[in-house]
Structure 1
Amino acid sequence: MNLKQLSHVLALADTLNFNKAAQRMHLSQSALSKSIAALEAELGIQIFERNTARVEIAPTGQHVVLHARHLVSEATNFRKNIEYLKTGELGSVALGSGPFPAACFLDTGIKEFHRRHPTVSLNLRIDNWGNLLRGLLAGELDFFMADIRNLEDDARLDITPLGGVTVTLCCCRHHPLVAGDPTRVIPPRELLDYAFATVKLPPLMFLELKQSMGLDRSDTFAVNIECDDISLLNRIVPGSDIILATGNLLMADCFRNPEVVKLNVPMSRNRFGEWALVRIKDRTLTPSAALLADLLTELIRAGSLADDARYGIAENHPLNFVA
C-alpha cells in the first residue's frame, strides 16, 4: 500500500466512474483498475462494488476511503510543511537577547520578521549574556545577541560582531547635579557621590566609561541597582537622585518626559560594548532561525552605525555629549 494507490481510491470514490477517475489521475483506465485491484488484494477487502452499469463504495470500503482521505491529507500537509521549513516559512525560533539590544532593536526586528513570515512562532528570552550562553549550550536557544566582551574564547561558538551602543547618563531634572540648569557641565568626579542604576553590564564597560571621563581606575561608581528590565529602570529616575547609565537609543521616548534630563558630562569617546550574535558553530540553524538571525544582524548593524554617527565621539576628542 502506498499514497499513490490511496489517491487512486479517492479519485474513484469521488467520481464513481473509472474513466473520470483515470483522467483525474492522468492514467489509463486499465492502469487505474489494476492499481485499485492490487490494493484490494493486499488488504483482503473489497473497496468498490462494480459492474457494467455502475461503481459504488462497498460497505467494507467506507472505512478504507475515510482513512485514505486522512492519510493523503496529512501527507499533503507534510510535504507543504517541509517546503515551508526549507524556505523558513514555518517552524519556531528560540531567540535570546541581552537587555540593551532587546530594548533598542528587538521590537522592530520582531515586527518586520512577523510581517515577512507570519507562520513562524518565536520564543524570546531576555537575560544577561551568562545565562543566555548556558541556554545556548543546553540547546534551549537557537542563538542569542549580547555584549560578549566577558565571553571567553570557546571553540564551540560561532560569533558574529554586530556593533556597540552610545551611552548616556540620565537623572531627574531636580537632581542636585543639575541644580536647575540641565546644560551645566558636570565634573565627572561629582558623579561618584550618587547611586547608579543600570542593566547588568560587563565590568570592562565601567572601566572604559571612567577612562573616557578622565577618572582614575580606583574611582568607583556606586552601582546600587542592577536590573535587566529597561522600562523599570526608566521609571526609577523621576523623583529620585539616582543616575541611570543607559544607551541613547533606549531613551528616545523617555527624553520626551520633562522630568528626565541628560547629564552634560565631558567624555573623550562615547561608543561602548561589543554586541555579537552567538550560536553553536557546528549546529545548523533551521531556515526560520537563519532568516531571523540575518534580519537582526542587518538591523542592528545599521542602527548601531546610525547611533554612532549621531552620538559617537571620536577617541581622544574631549567634547560634551549632549545630543
Structure 2
Amino acid sequence: MNLKRLEHLVALVEEGTFAAAARRVNRTQPALTRSIQTLEDEAGLPLFDRAARGVTLTSTGQMVLERARRILFEASCLERDLQLVQQNEMGSVRFGLGPFAGAMFLSPVLRVMQRDWPKLRVSAEVNSGEALFAALQAEQLDFVVAAERTMPLTVEMEVRSLKPDPIALFVRPTHPLCGSPVSLAQIRDARLATVPLPSTAHELWRTLLRCRPGEDVLPRVESNDFRVLAELASHDDVVLIAPNRALTRELESGELVQLRVDDLRELRVQYSIAYLAHRTLSPAAERAIATFETVD
C-alpha cells in the first residue's frame, strides 16, 4: 500500500462520492476508481459499499481508514521534522493547560522557551479539561498539562507526572474569616470561587467539607480565567480554592492569605503531561515538555 492510495481512501470517505474525491486529489474519476480498486485488491476485501448516491465504508474499510489517517499523519510529521532538521529550525508546538496549570506553569515555561529557543512558534491554550482533551484527541494539540483526575479514561494516552502541588483556601487579609481558625461549617456557608471543577473534584470537596447527605457545596463564582479569580479574591470577600503555587505573587505581596481551617486535611493535586499514545512527538513538543519538567 502506498501513501497516495491511502490519501485517495481518506478523500473518498470525506467527500462521499468518487467525483468529489477526484476533484479534491486532482485526479480523473476513472484514475481514482482504479486507485481504490487496487487498494481493495491489496487488502483482499472490499473497503466500500457502492450505491447510486455514493459510497459507505465496510467494517474492514473503517479499520483501514483509521490506520490510514495515522499513517498519513506520521508521514506528514516525518516530512516536517526532516525539513526542520535541514533548516536548523525548531518549528512549532501547540499545547493546552487547565486553568490551575496555566496559572502555575505558563509564565515561567514561556520565559524559558523564548530565552532558549527564540525561533520556536508557540501556541498555548488555557481551557477546561474537557475542551483540551477533545482538542488533543482531534490532534489539534501536541500535549495537555492538567490535573490527572480530569484526564479521560477513554483516550489512549502517554502520561508524564509532575510534582503534586498542595491546594488550599485563600482570602484577602480583611476577610471576616481571616485571623482565627475556621470551621468546616463556615467554609460550607462561604462564597467559594474557583475554576470549573470536574465531577470527581466536586465530590472530593464535598467529602473534605463533610457535607451531609443531600447537602451540596457549589462555588458562587467559576471562571477559566484564574487571574480574574485571584483579583476578585483580593478585592472581595470570596474564598478562593487554588493551588498555593498559583498564588505566589499574591501571597508574597500580602494581597491574599491562606485560611486556617479546623479538621481540613491537606489536599494535593497531581498534575501531569498527557499526549496521544499513537502519536510521535515532534522535537519541538519534546523540548516543550522537557521545559515543563525543568520548571516544575
Q: Same fold (TM over 0.5)?
A: yes
Look up the match of 2:286. 290
Deviates more, 1:228-237 or 1:168-177: 168-177
Counterpart in the other structure of 2:239: 243
TM-score (ref. length: structure 1): 0.60
AA matched with 2:282: T
Match of 2:85 in 1: 82
1:280 aligns with 2:279: no
Segments of structure 2 that go 5 or more residues without pairing to the other structure are 1-80
Contact 1:213 1:266 in 2 (8 A): no
Structure 2: which amino acid aligns with 1:107?
A: S
Separation in 2, partners of 1:145, 1:240: 30
Q: Distance in 2 between matches of 1:79 and 1:276?
A: 29
Give the greater-gyration-radius structure (CA): 1
Distance 2:252 2:293 in 1: 29
TM-aligned CA distance change 1:198 to 1:79, over 3 Å: closer
CA distance, structure 1, for counterparts of residue 254 and residue 156 of structure 2: 48
CA shift in 2, pair 1:281/1:185, >3 Å: same
User: Where does residue 137 of structure 1 map in the other structure?
Assistant: 137
Aligned residue in 1 for 2:74? none
Amino acid at match of 1:129: G
Asked whether the 8 Å contact 2:157–2:277 carries over to 1, the reply is: yes
Q: TM-score, normalised by structure 2?
A: 0.65
Alignment-derived partner of residue 149 in structure 2: 149
CA RMSD of aligned residues (A): 2.5
Instruction: Give yes or no for the alignment of 1:190 onto 2:186.
Output: yes
- Equivalent position of 1:36 in the other structure: none
Equivalent residue for 1:54? none
Which residue, out of 252, 267, 277, partners 2:248?
252
Q: Secondary structure at the match of 2:164?
A: strand
After TM superposition, give the deviation of residue 214 of structure 1 in Å: 4.9
Q: Distance in 2 between matches of 1:254 and 1:79?
A: 45
Distance 1:155 1:173 in 2: 43
| 1:238-296 alpha-carbon deviations (Å, 9 max, x no partner) | 34221111111111211244453221113553233232211111111111111111221
* 8 Å Cα contact 1:170-1:261 kept in structure 2: yes
Residue pair 1:162, 1:297 contacting (<8 A) in 2 also: yes
Contact 1:129 1:148 in 2 (8 A): no
Deviation at 1:215, TM superposition (A): 4.9
Distance in 1, matches of 2:155 and 2:203, equals 28
- Between 257-266 and 95-104, report the one with greater CA deviation: 257-266
1:132 aligned counterpart, secondary structure: helix
- For residue 123 of structure 1, give the secondary structure of its aligned residue in structure 2: strand
Q: What number of residue pairs does the alignment pair up?
A: 216
Inter-partner Cα distance in structure 1 for 2:138 and 2:101: 22
In the aligned structure 2, how far is the partner of 1:135 from the partner of 1:79?
25
Q: CA deviation at 1:173?
A: 2.5
Q: How far apart in 1 are the matches of 2:292 and 2:83? A: 27
